[in-house]
Amino acid sequence: GFPVEASGCRKCGLVFLNPVMTVEGYRDFYANTYRPLVSAYHGRLIDAGSIQAEQRVYAIERAALLAPFVGRVNPSTLLDVGGSTGVVAHHLSNRFNLDATVIDPAPLEIEEAKRLGLEAFIGLAEEFDPGDRKFDFVVMCQTVDHLLDIDGTLRAIRRLISNDGGLFFVDIVDFRAAYLRGWSVEEAIKIDHPYYLTEATIEAFLISAGFDVLLTDYAEDHLHVGYVCRPATPMPVDRALPALSITAELWREIRTVQGTRRCTT
């Protein structure tokens, strides 16, 4: 029931909902609509309790991926942005002996994080104000696509990392993988994702915000792409943007997918 279309930037290839929800609307969406909507779509209950088993598997996999990098940095504090029920932060804190903090806009999921003994705050990432606090290790797991302000949030995270030895992990739903999997651009669009990132666009965001990518990880679901990063000097936006040839090819591919149907026989 939300009248929205998806638009895209011809220069960089970023795709986004148009219009994007307001902060107030998005906060209400996560408090009252998000999980019931997802449950209705999938035809089964998906809530703060039922999602935890899947989150535990994800947490174990992410910890194994991050372990070599954590060992080099030796962090003591963790911030999980969009940390949901706290399952991931709890596992990482136990695995690497970290003091963990979680922020998420869904009140029921934050209550689950508090039950795990984590420091937890209700709110959008864009609203989080830690004061003078710094963190050695920041993760944003399956969250960046949900942000209302990707650039501003990544730059804020860069400022939160305590020193040049810090660590940052973020993963995206690769928009290209999503529309190629179902051969449908429309089916790759979700009301809870204001923005749709490709490898080219997330790398541009990271570089311009002040991160070096140490490792790119392609998940087994062939949909998510993860980035292990360290703090660096921000690059001017015009130098970080994807080449125009990459963007032009993206739009040609999108038009091809929209104009054809995959053969199912």
Instruction: Summarize the confidence of residues 152-180 as an average pLDDT.
Output: 94
Instruction: Summarize the confidence of residues 103-132 as an average pLDDT.
Output: 95
* Distance between CA atoms of residues 2 and 192, nearest Å: 11
Q: Is the pLDDT of residue 265 over 60?
A: no
Give all strands (DSSP E) within the chain, no chain letters. 5-8, 15-18, 77-81, 99-104, 119-122, 137-140, 167-173, 195-196, 211-218, 224-231
Give per-residue pLDDT as tens, 157-170.
Answer: 999 997 668 999 99
Six-digit token string for 28: 């209400």
Q: Is the pLDDT of residue 262 over 90?
A: no
* Distance between CA atoms of residues 142 and 22, nearest Å: 21
Q: What is the pLDDT of residue 164?
A: 66
pLDDT band at 2 (very low <50, low <70, confident <90, very high): confident
Q: Within a 10 A sphere around the Cβ of 156, how many other Cβ atoms?
A: 17
Residue of 203, 180, 207, 200 lying closest to 11 (CA atoms) = 200
pTM: 0.95
Q: What is the pLDDT of residue 162?
A: 76
